A = this chain, B = another copy of it.
Amino acid sequence: MVAAKSNIKTYKAFQTEVESSNRIALSVDCVIFGFDENKLKVLLIRSDLKKYEGKWSLLGDLVLPDEGLDEAAYRILKQRTGLSDVFLEQVHTFGEIGRHPVNRVVTVAYCSLINVQHHKLKILDNELHWHDVDSISDMAFDHKIIFDTSLSQLQKRVREHPLGFSLLPNKFSLRELQNLYEAILNVKLDRRNFRKKFFSMDFLIDLDEVETDVPHRPGKLYRFDYVKYEKSAKNWNGIAF
């Protein structure tokens, strides 16, 4: 790095270095989590690349020269699934030299949670569909590593913020909510303590409705009070299970 020690880099010197750095391509990969049948799911497609034919892959693509990273992530999610109107959050950037078999590609991983029932997939190319997270073994590229990292982050974030609700229907029972937390965190929780904790937070609105078509006593339905949550300065003290 010749220019590293110069006091002021000229535009020209910088351009020369940029050309060298330009040999690195940039992509985004989306790890989309959902929740259905009491299991945590992830959206995968069959790999684009011949070398990984048959393997499953995250929803990814190259970043365009004139779009921001977040923008790229939303575009790719929309292109691959037809969906918009979800939160995407950056997880980590992966840039090992050999991670892509053809080119040097650095990828920024994004993570999202969507409600499987609510957001029906509109595009199903490349065999896009939901996979149980615990059925995932090998994947294309280093996507298994990216997936594992994203899942760990999800587990961490779901303890700190009320993200889980975006995975549930608008109306949900406490049992569904608990199932969700148990699935994401991969733990068993005490029902009474779980209820106590959520009721004490006071962000659940009792809808005075109950489940139907269950072969047992129906549970009451609730929705999450996003308005109150926003107003209370994000006063979510975290979940310590």
- Copies of this chain in its oligomeric complex: 2
Residue A80 CB within 8 A of the other chain: yes
CB distance from A196 to the nearest CB of B (A): 20
A79 in contact (CB, < 8 A): yes
CB of A21 closer than 8 Å to a CB of B: yes
A187 adjacent to chain B (CB < 8 Å): no
A-B contact pairs, 14 of them (CB 8 A): A1-B79, A7-B126, A9-B50, A14-B48, A15-B102, A18-B25, A20-B64, A21-B25, A21-B63, A22-B25, A26-B95, A68-B97, A90-B93, A95-B108
Q: Considering the complex, give the chain B residue whose CB is closest to the CB of A104.
A: B65
8 Å CB contact of A95 from B49, B69, B125? B69
**A69 and B64 alpha carbons, distance in the complex (Å):** 21
**Is A174 located at the chain interface by the 8 A CB criterion?**
no
Q: Is A155 in contact with chain B by the CB < 8 A criterion?
A: no
Interface residue from B8, B65, B106 paired with A20 (Cβ < 8 Å): B65
* A interface SS class: mixed
Interface residues in A147-184 by Cβ distance below 8 A to B read: none
Chain A residues in contact with chain B, CB under 8 A?
1, 3-11, 14-15, 17-18, 20-27, 46, 48-50, 53, 61-70, 79-80, 90, 92-97, 102-106, 108, 123, 125-126
- Considering the chains assembled together, what is the distance between the CA atoms of A73 and B79 in angstroms? 33
Q: A1-B61, A18-B25, A21-B27 are in contact. List 20 more A-B contacts (CB 8 A).
A: A3-B48, A4-B61, A4-B79, A5-B126, A6-B48, A7-B46, A9-B49, A14-B48, A14-B103, A18-B103, A18-B105, A20-B64, A24-B25, A26-B26, A26-B95, A67-B97, A69-B93, A69-B95, A90-B93, A95-B108
**Residues from chain B with Cβ under 8 Å of A80 in the complex:** 4
Of chain B, the residue at the smallest CB distance from A13 is: B48
Q: Are B14 and A49 in contact (CB under 8 A)?
A: yes
Chain B residues within an 8 Å CB radius of A15: 102-103
